[in-house]
Structure 1
Amino acid sequence: MGRTSRAEAARHREEVVAATSKLLRERGAAGMSVQDLMGAAGLTHGGFYKHFSSKDELLGIAATTAFGELLALLDRLSDDLPDRAEARSALLRHYLSAEHRDTPGTGCATTALAADAARASAGSPLRVSYATGVQETLKRLTGIEDASGRGATEARQRAIVDLATMVGALMLARATGQTPLSEEILQTAREALSAPVSAPDGEDGRC
């Protein structure tokens, strides 16, 4: 294979992964065939096995790509907003928004892929990619909490609560569509996560 052909093959592979990452978040794994995935990238399904050993392999790679977008967002927030409390507030506004609710194809993989990962078999590429992505997401969120002067254990616990609340609220908001209830869920979750954290036992918050 010549240099041009190799470059073209690599480009096609990237296009298939990008298209699959978007469709996976929009439709779920069960709603896509190999023909759908290749067609979304403007290719015929006959060339699929030149790039991937199976649909399961592609789903795992696509999930990793989707999580990469989330991690990049968290990194940008940390870089652009050195004040971690401000970075966390910006994340809550973005994550629990109507815009994010209505654009699952470019949204958070943690929410969009949760059901598919739960149904996937243990050790499958999708399940493994999802677990790794959640771990990396929690590391970023814990860093935001840690910089607020909290201990590492408490920071990770709060990061888990933040993520679980955001994911659950967004799933419910999407499931209830563009309705007043959906808006209420997003707003209530934002307010709950934005509320001041009570002082640890034995402290009353006074100097």
Structure 2
Amino acid sequence: MRKSRVETAETRRRIVEIAAREFTGKGIHATGLADVMAEAGLSHGGFYRHFDSKDHLVAEACTSGMTDVIGKLEAAATASAAQDGFKAIVDAYVSAGHRDNAARGCPIAGMGSELIRSEAETRAAATDSLDRLLALLVKHADEAEPEAARSKAVFALAAMIGGITMARIMTDADASMAVLQEVREHLDAL
């Protein structure tokens, strides 16, 4: 029996959600399509009914993962009554929780080194994801001039992604926490 369009769309959404976690947590090349499909309860052969290629899935997973991250960061900014939204975003992103849960974190931080060598479609999705995250930072930058807000957002995002990546790499827990703290403090001073 053929699946309805609703069931097909739900299956595709589930595959993308699982792929976003796997690619972000383990890396693009370390994640096999068979593993993603198995976790979704599907056969490997069914993959091509939903996607043209692994790159196509990576692009959609990057977009989906970033949508989730932006939603969490926007919620943090909105909920911050005692602090400004920009600081709340930085604090939520550059945190031990984000560091320790790469699979549910920022896809750019999790896949960045692999994304730079990806197909154009995948890099375009990653670029769009970066642009959306930058727009969120610009929105909360509290700068009078648009150029100043954009500059602040670009600098902050580069420090945030670099800081979380460094903290994940470090084997010494204290040094890792120090990186997160230093990045937050320097960005708070902007």
Q: Same fold (TM over 0.5)?
A: yes
CA contact (8 A) 1:26 1:105 kept: yes
TM-score under structure 1 length normalisation? 0.84
Judged with a 3 Å threshold, the aligned counterparts in structure 2 of structure 1 residues 191 and 49 are, in CA distance, closer, same or farther, namely same
**1:57, distance to aligned residue in structure 2 (A):** 0.8
Q: Aligned with 1:163: secondary structure? A: helix
- Which residue number in structure 1 is paired with residue 8 of structure 2? 9
- Stretches (4+) displaced over 4 A: none
**1:126, distance to aligned residue in structure 2 (A):** 1.7
What does 1:160-179 align with in structure 2 at a 5 Å threshold? 160-177=154-171, 179=173
Deviations 1:123-179 (A, max 9, x none): 1x221110111111111111111xx24211111101111100111010000001452
Judged with a 3 Å threshold, the aligned counterparts in structure 2 of structure 1 residues 53 and 149 are, in CA distance, closer, same or farther, namely closer
- Which residue number in structure 2 is paired with residue 184 of structure 1? 178
Q: Unpaired runs of 5+ in structure 2? A: none
2: CA distance between counterparts of 1:75 and 1:93? Answer: 12
The number of residues matched between the two structures is 190
Q: Unpaired runs of 5+ in structure 1? A: 198-207
2: CA distance between counterparts of 1:186 and 1:62? Answer: 26
Deviations 1:5-32 (A, max 9, x none): 3322222111111100100101111011
Larger gyration radius, structure 1 or structure 2: 1
TM-score under structure 2 length normalisation? 0.91
Return the letter of the residue paired with 1:112: G
- Which residue number in structure 1 is paired with residue 101 of structure 2? 103
Work out the percentage of aligned pairs sharing the same amino acid.
29
What does 1:25-64 align with in structure 2 at a 5 Å threshold? 25-64=24-63
Pick aligned residue for 1:88 from 83, 86, 89: 86
